[in-house]
Structure 1
Amino acid sequence: MDPYADAVTETAHGVTIALDVTAGAKKQSFPAGYNEWRKSIRCQVTAPAVGGKANRAIIDLVAETFGVPRTDVSIIAGHTSSSKTVAIAGIPRSRILKILSASNP
């Protein structure tokens, strides 16, 4: 079974991914591992969690990882939390899991 399967959910509007975010990290990384307890994928961004900078960095990093425009990526829950839910439009769950598995650290 795919280690990230529990964190990725198909919905009527696209795919959602549960993220466990570290803002202000030394380097950007996604996926940066898997949190078994939260059933979420770790994401590290260098931007600080101030004024939405980390959220914008997360959207940029997720869009780049999956090769979709940043307009197809949105944070739908956890705007001020380290636990976030990100929605991605225009790409199926199976493709997302394949990309995540290929970049597994």
Structure 2
Amino acid sequence: MSNPAARPWRETKEGIALDVRLTPRGGRDALDGVETLADGRAVLKARVRAAPTEGEANTALIRLLAQEFGLPRSQVTLASGATARLKTIALSGNAAAIATMLETRLGAGRQTG
């Protein structure tokens, strides 16, 4: 398995905490791979067309992640970072199953930056 430090997620009691770097007004709604920040943390890069006003970009991010990961929106919530670019998203449910799905869809080895 890949180095866990290179994964933008960690298991929690409720499921998975996913670290995301969001670019609002990004021209399209898309996931752009995993990036390692200067401090060594891995984050999932995401962009949405929505503006960062009145929570529109956060709502678009949750919708995008639910769609990309095949999860109900009720299982995808903003845990922290409501007004920041760096956010933590809570994916509730079976942590092992969600981690396996993330590993398959994102692959910790597919890094940018």
TM-score range, shorter chain: 0.7 to 0.9
Pick one of 45, 49, 53 that aligns with 2:52.
49
Equivalent residue pairs, number: 102
The TM-score normalised by the length of structure 1 is 0.86
Structure 1 gap ranges (5+): none
The answer to whether residue 16 in structure 2 is matched with residue 15 in structure 1 is yes
What secondary structure sits across from 1:62 in the alignment? helix
Alpha-carbon contact 1:5-1:97 (below 8 Å) kept? no
TM superposition outliers: structure 1 runs of 4+ over 6 Å: none
Cα distance in 2 between the residues matched to 1:44 and 1:21 = 6
Distance change (3 Å), C-alpha of 1:27 and 1:20? same
Pick one of 93, 96, 104 that aligns with 2:99.
93
The TM-score normalised by the length of structure 2 is 0.81
Structure 2 gap ranges (5+): none
Task: Please show how residues 1-105 of structure 1 align to structure 2 within 5 Å.
Answer: 1=2, 5-30=6-31, 32-37=32-37, 38-90=41-93, 91-101=97-107
Cα distance in 2 between the residues matched to 1:80 and 1:18 = 14
Identity of aligned residues (%): 28
